[in-house]
Amino acid sequence: MYIEIDNVSKMYNQHSGNSVKALDGAKLNIEKGEFICLLGPSGCGKTTLLNLIAGFEKPSAGRITINGEEVKKPSIKNVTIFQNYGLLPWRTVQGNVELGLELLGLERKRVKEIAMEYIELVGLSDFRKHHPYQLSGGMQQRVAIARALAVDPDVIFMDEPFGALDAMTRMKMQDEISNISEQKKKTILFVTHDIDESVFLADRIVIMTPYPGRIKSIINVPLARKRDRTHADFLAIRDKVFMELEMKEKDKLEYYL
Ligand code: ADP
């Protein structure tokens, strides 16, 4: 197994003096190239689990390995994409995509070539001289994706990356990241609380529940890409997810309001 999460728990001490069990006995194995969505309501430990695998936090108990090596700190082989894009405002689109490649110490000509390739992949060739403030939210997130992919990472961590986007842009970005994951076969861990997003993107959906944060179940999504959000098979898996999350009819209605 490529990533092994072996009985991992995480306690946080809060200001009040109480401690919170953000994650309780998580067990999960992930294969190379899999697209995994961590899905569940707010507070169920999705971000905690992502941060533990990415090495930003240390487990209180249990062990995480990537490619056989215990995760002890963030690795330059992995990248994280956040909701707020994390772009440098004083750099152009091209400058932002080049950043990671510069940090890898590649020669200038190669840096430029690779950056151009990924700017094209995300459809921003005409905007490479623009600065982030001149771009829409969706375009800024595409720059962040191009920058992340350009360094050819082993694992991409995405924490609600489309959470700040409007519904239309969000669906477009879901299409793009789904296409990219198919083309580039990257291992992706993606946090979301959006059921449709998880069914659209994931090879497997890891369903989490809160108090304490636990992995409740894992649902396979054996649908070919590019997925049709209105197809009966898509809707059947979505219903299964609703059931696993123990959403009653009333909750389902609220989810859509
Ligand atoms: P999710 O991403 O599913 O919303 P989180 O992993 O952010 O859940 O949080 C899980 C629980 O751990 C929550 O109760 C949250 O308040 C708590 N928690 C998360 N991070 C910290 C922290 N740094 N300090 C204290 N408590 C935290």
Q: Taking residues 31-47, report their average pLDDT.
A: 95
Contact assessment for residue 71 and residue 48, using Cβ atoms and an 8 Å cutoff: no
The predicted structure's pLDDT at residue 7:
97
Kindly indicate whether the domain formed by 1-75+155-247 is annotated with CATH number 3.40.50.300: yes
pLDDT digits (tens, 9 = 90+) for 11-36: 998 888 888 899 999 999 999 999 99
Mean pLDDT of 219-232: 95
Protein residue with its CA nearest to atom 24 in ligand 1: 12
**Structure confidence at residue 252 as a pLDDT band (50, 70, 90):** low
CA distance 159 to 47: 7
Top pLDDT among 250 and 25 is at: 25
Q: Which residues line ligand 1 (CB under 6 A)?
A: 12, 14, 20, 22, 40, 42-48, 213
For residue 119, is pLDDT > 60?
A: yes
Share of the chain above pLDDT 90, in %: 70
pLDDT at 10: 96
**pLDDT for residue 95 is more than 80:** yes
| Domain coordinates in residue numbering, the chain | 1-75+155-247, 88-153
Q: How many CA atoms lie within 13 A of 69 on its CB side?
A: 9
Residues 38, 44: Cα–Cα separation, whole Å: 10
Closest C-alpha to ligand 1, atom 26: 12
Q: Which amino acid residue places its CA nearest to atom 5 of ligand 1?
A: 45
pLDDT of residue 251: 60
Nearest CA to ligand 1 atom 7: 47
DSSP assigned state of 24: E
Model pTM?
0.91
Per-residue model confidence (pLDDT) at position 257:
45
Nearest ligand 1 atom to alpha carbon 193? 3
